[in-house]
Structure 1
Amino acid sequence: MPVLVLVTIALWIGALDKLYQLALAPDDRPLRAVAGCLACLAVVPVLNFAPVVAFLDGFGGGVARLLVNLMTMYASYWMLAFFQYSMRVSRRFQTVVFVGVLGLVVGVWLAAPVAIRLQPAALSSGDDWHSTVFVVAAVGYMAYALGLALRWAVRYARVARRVELRRGLRAIAVGLAFLIAGCVCKCFVALLQALAAVVWEAGNLAYVGFVLVGSVLLVVGVMYPAVTGMLAAVPVWRWHRRAYRDMEPLWRALHEAFPDLALRSETLPWWRDPIRIRRTHRDYYRRAVEIRDGLVQLGPYYPANAGGDAPVREADQSGEADHAHAVRAALAAKASGAPAGAPHPAPVAGGDDLDSDVRWLVRLSLSLA
């Protein structure tokens, strides 16, 4: 189904994104829980591929189906853990509950006949009590854990100040509601078949639909704040990249005058910054600081009337020619070996924040070039 393919792709994108973030911040426990949840959900479709099923069932009939159910249980556990980590509450009781239910599910599966192990949650296996206990325990735990997570998601969505985070939490809450509805349907189908010998196929189809829609909304909710933040950061990244290039003439002239101007930089492996976003921001700030350091070191060579005492508003470009002339004269004096005189203030313009100061440095660099 095209929808399943899209869901699988979305799950893998979300899981890889969170795993990459976790590699950058391995001590972030809420991020670890989100990454674990998405990774478990992303593995589930892979476990349903025929070659993977054949390989896993080589270790024992039905191992692939068991792992599918265990991964969904783990995903529910990690989703609840995310909110518990965020609230800094003890997770001991929930861990004991999860381990107990996990042991029950595996034990019932091991005790079931071979035919039930192959399809423990299928309607064809619903007449066997092993299948009923397996479904009620596994899916019932999912409904329990997701219900607690839904309560926290609704509470967070009400108090979140960031619009992106609030919208993401709302999508997560709706997705959790769909998943819980699906779990309730599946448990009801299993109990109805076991107690009344009634096979409710429509309920089973509703379970599949609820899980599909809930998984999509869950991924959308988790990824929404990150994606919107990345889109909002694109103009900033483009400005930092352009400003970095435009400041090069001024930076190069100062670096030739003062070779020890360059600051030490941390060399990161390529996988820590695969598309050079963080490196662009780091190089932008580093170049601005190095230029400012160079302008200060030129202090003994500035002309006496360099005009560096009075800041100039960013919109006022009347003094830029004078500043460029002062920097050019100081560089020439330093290059000619002229004796250093009394230090004069470095040219100052722009605003009080770094970005407005960099905009002036860009104009000064272009004027100097």
Structure 2
Amino acid sequence: MIALALVVGTVFVLTLGWKIRQFVTSPHDAPLRAVTLCLASAAASFGLALPPAAKAIRSVGGSGAPRLVQNAFAFAMVFWLMCFYLYSATDPQRGRIRARRETLPLGLTLLGTSLATIAAAGHDTGGSYDSVDMRVSALATFYLLADLYLVYALTAALLWTCRYARASPRPLSVGLWLMASALSGIAAASAIRAALTVIRWHGGAVAPAVTKFSGHIIAVAIPLFLIGAGYPAALTRLSVMRLRRQRRSMYHRLHPLWSLLHEAYPQHALHQNRARPWGLLRRPRAVDRHYYRRAIECRDGLVRISPYLGQAEETVTDLSESSADLLADQLCAALEAQAEGGEAPYGAVAVAVPQAQGLDADVRQLVMLSDALLRRTSHPAQQDQQDQQDQHKEHHRSRRG
């Protein structure tokens, strides 16, 4: 149980820090503000339930103060969760009006639980829900008001979550359905506890297993809610990491083509980053910037050399595995012709034009050409090495003969 609490607390802190960072950049985003306050309230309610925090609150406000403060933040959590849907589903003005209306049941619940805590001061031992004496009307009123408000707010949030889940694509819908399952579990546990409170209030006996069962539902539902809330964001982050890893690979594979064109047209180089070479690997956001810059410089170089490519019998436009080697030969010949000072009788022509639109499709064409240039430069070296090995073998045979 302690390990689970630490895991849940860590996830709360990380998720809350991520949302606070987003909220700082967009302070006027009402739905984002509601989510941030919801997570902050949840983290506070969870943290204040820990023994050290509860002991500190008890020393200041009495035996019932920790329960009141913890539940107050739990009420705030579900209130801001409702507000998130209200802000998201309607226009800002209407969302603010409906959110203000929801402050009425929240305020009445806080007032009622506060008065019940004060009234039960002489009979409250500060025990948990399992051990508290529900025959004390003030304590029974406290738990009944708290559970009824949670059932009301969680049910409203559950209906909004299901509506959004049915209309959302994956992976957002998966996360929303997980959140809906968690909300339904917590609402059901709160309804069970409200019924058990009434039974115990009237002197009825309740099996301990039933009370523990409702507590186990909440213990499972809270981590499930966190997983559902973080699932779409985590999947999106993984997709971004995968895309940047691919672009980092493309960036390096473009080097043969880029170095050849950069040597011919150094004036086409864009603003260079003064960071160290390994900065590309250390700073993920720099990957995209380096990737775009290298692709643009390669394309500018090909446009500049394209009039000399037009002198070939068949200029390669859209690349394939076979035509990439042909265009690599034409490119090297064109650069040599330009270096010799020959004039190009043709205008610019399209070179390695992708069939699909988008920068990534263009880069795939450039990468095929760059790979062909790499093969072109490596084959002569391999051939020279093979010739040296053959000469060595022939010399060895002649000595043996």
Q: Settle same-fold status: TM greater than 0.5.
A: yes
Matched position secondary structure for 1:344: coil
Equivalent in the alignment of 2:363: 358
Do structure 1's residue 150 and structure 2's residue 153 form an aligned pair?
A: no
Whole-Å separation in 1 of the counterparts to 2:314 and 2:363: 16
| 1:193 equivalent among 195, 200, 210 | 200
Equivalent residue pairs, number:
359
Matched position secondary structure for 2:322: coil
Q: Which moves more between the two structures, 117-126 or 238-247? A: 117-126
Q: Which moves more between the two structures, 320-329 or 221-230? A: 320-329
| Deviation by residue 1:5-52 (Cα, 9 ceiling, x = unmatched) | 444444445444444554565554434433433343334332233333
Q: CA deviation at 1:141?
A: 1.3
Q: CA deviation at 1:222?
A: 1.7
Matches within 5 A, 1:55-74: 55-62=56-63, 63-74=65-76
| Deviation by residue 1:61-101 (Cα, 9 ceiling, x = unmatched) | 35443332122112211222222222124322113332342
Equivalent in the alignment of 2:46: 45
Instruction: Indicate conservation of the 8 Å contact 1:306/1:322, yes or no.
Output: no
Whole-Å separation in 1 of the counterparts to 2:117 and 2:282: 46
Equivalent in the alignment of 2:323: 319
Q: CA deviation at 1:159?
A: 2.9
| Deviation by residue 1:145-166 (Cα, 9 ceiling, x = unmatched) | 1001111222223333x23233
Matches within 5 A, 1:82-101: 82-88=84-90, 89=95, 90-101=98-109
Matched position secondary structure for 2:202: helix
Q: Which moves more between the two structures, 14-23 or 165-174? A: 14-23
Instruction: Indicate conservation of the 8 Å contact 1:146/1:180, yes or no.
Output: yes
| Deviation by residue 1:195-227 (Cα, 9 ceiling, x = unmatched) | 336566444323311211221221222222233
Matches within 5 A, 1:267-282: 276-282=283-289
Instruction: Give the alignment's TM-score, normalised by structure 2.
Output: 0.73
The amino acid across from 2:371 in the alignment is L
In structure 1, the gaps of 5 or more residues are 268-273
CA RMSD, 1 decimal: 3.8
Matches within 5 A, 1:1-369: 1=1, 2-22=3-23, 26-62=27-63, 63-88=65-90, 89=95, 90-110=98-118, 112-113=120-121, 116=124, 118-119=126-127, 123-160=131-168, 162-196=169-203, 198=205, 201-255=208-262, 257-259=265-267, 261-262=269-270, 276-298=283-305, 302-305=308-311, 311-312=317-318, 314=319, 316-328=320-332, 343-345=347-349, 347-353=351-357, 354-369=359-374
Whole-Å separation in 1 of the counterparts to 2:341 and 2:111: 81
Structure with max Cα Rg: 2
Change (3 A) 1:114 1:332: farther
Instruction: Give the alignment's TM-score, normalised by structure 1.
Output: 0.79
| Deviation by residue 1:320-369 (Cα, 9 ceiling, x = unmatched) | 34433454466667778888987523522333233232122112223445
Whole-Å separation in 1 of the counterparts to 2:206 and 2:282: 53
The amino acid across from 2:302 in the alignment is L
Relative contact order: is structure 1 or structure 2 higher (C-alpha 8 Å, sep ≥ 6)? 1
